[in-house]
Structure 1
Amino acid sequence: MGLVVTREELKQVVRAQKEQNKIIVTTNGCFDILHVGHVRYLAEARRLGDVLIVGVNTDDSVRRLKGPSRPVNNENDRAEVLASLECVDYVTLFPEDTPVELLTEVKPNFHAKGGDYDPEKLAETPVVESFGGQVKIINLVPGKSTTSLIAKIDKSKEKSNDTVNC
């Protein structure tokens, strides 16, 4: 089970982990409505090293990336839920739209991204490679995404609104 830490606290954590020659893995995302796809992805990311650090977009960042109706869950709730997973060691929030600044601070050995990303097009790739790290693409679980869950909920609400109660 992990801890939610500030960026300043994370710097100290990373320093201590690197002194112990730990392999540090980072990943990032909105993680708005946690589902099995997220859990499997994070477990796979954790297997890349000794320590998994998850960067979570703040609420303002999620709104810029996903639209005004998101996030469904606030940043503190999303961070706490992620930190409760056995495979996650540390969670920190970041207000930027990309994790480039966070990666520059952490300098992970590996940065994991989901299979829907092309490493050549990621803003993170040149940053991670600049300090000798690698970007690793992890296959996603087909049909599992927060967007598809929200669509399913919306469709379910439409059906229930069409039903006449007698």
Structure 2
Amino acid sequence: MSLHLSPPAFLNKICLRADPADLAARLAALPRPMVFTNGVFDILHPGHVRYLAQARALGASLVMGLNSDASARLLGKGPDRPLNRELDRACVLAALESLSLITFFDERTPCALLEILRPDLYVKGGDYDIESLEETRLVRSWGGDACAIAFVDGYSTTSLVQRIRT
């Protein structure tokens, strides 16, 4: 017996960068305050899940700017990174209840995407100096704010990759 199932609803959280009008419509439908975060999220681990849940708790919706594969390679994480392709990473992230919308950016930083989204709050993990980030200055320029969420020790994609390889 074969079942014909429709695609999971969580896939609707993924907004491809090819259609700016679609992104604008989806943003308009999100409740405010809107929180924004970004990253590669190559191998999802409990540190990521906790971080994203905490970020969502800071607002009514959480938008993820996901580094595209090309963008991730600009970050110098290694020639074989990311391990998971961008659409695969987006699919896994979309299944999390904490995320409202996921879209992509191709540059080294999400500044161009932030200009479009104009979130109320920009959030990064505590392993970043939030005050030194260009993104912080940008979000504050229109009256938004930025904060760092405490880093969860013991979880790192880089350390997971090293452990797998040994």
Greater Cα offset, 59-68 or 32-41: 59-68
Give me the CA root mean square deviation.
1.3
1:14 is matched by which residue type in structure 2?
A: L
The TM-score normalised by the length of structure 1 is 0.87
Alignment of 1:34-113 (within 5 A): 34-65=44-75, 66-113=77-124
Partner of 1:15: 28
Identity %: 50
Q: Is the aligned partner of 1:31 residue 2:41? A: yes
Q: How many residues align?
A: 152
Deviation beyond 2 Å, 4+ runs, structure 1: none
What whole-Å deviation, never above 9, does each CA across 1:5-60 have from its counterpart, x for those lacking one? 1342222222233xx6x210000000000000000000000001011000100101
The 2-side partners of 1:90 and 1:43 are apart by 14
Question: How far apart are the structure 1 equivalents of 2:29 and 2:144?
Answer: 18
What runs of 5+ residues in structure 2 fail to find an aligned partner? 1-9
- Give the deviation of 1:120 after TM superposition: 2.0
- 1:125 equivalent to 2:136? Answer yes
Q: Which amino acid counterpart does residue 39 of structure 2 have in structure 1?
A: G
- Higher helix proportion, which one? 1
> What is the deviation of 1:143?
1.4
In 2, the alpha carbon distance for the partners of 1:54 and 1:67 equals 23
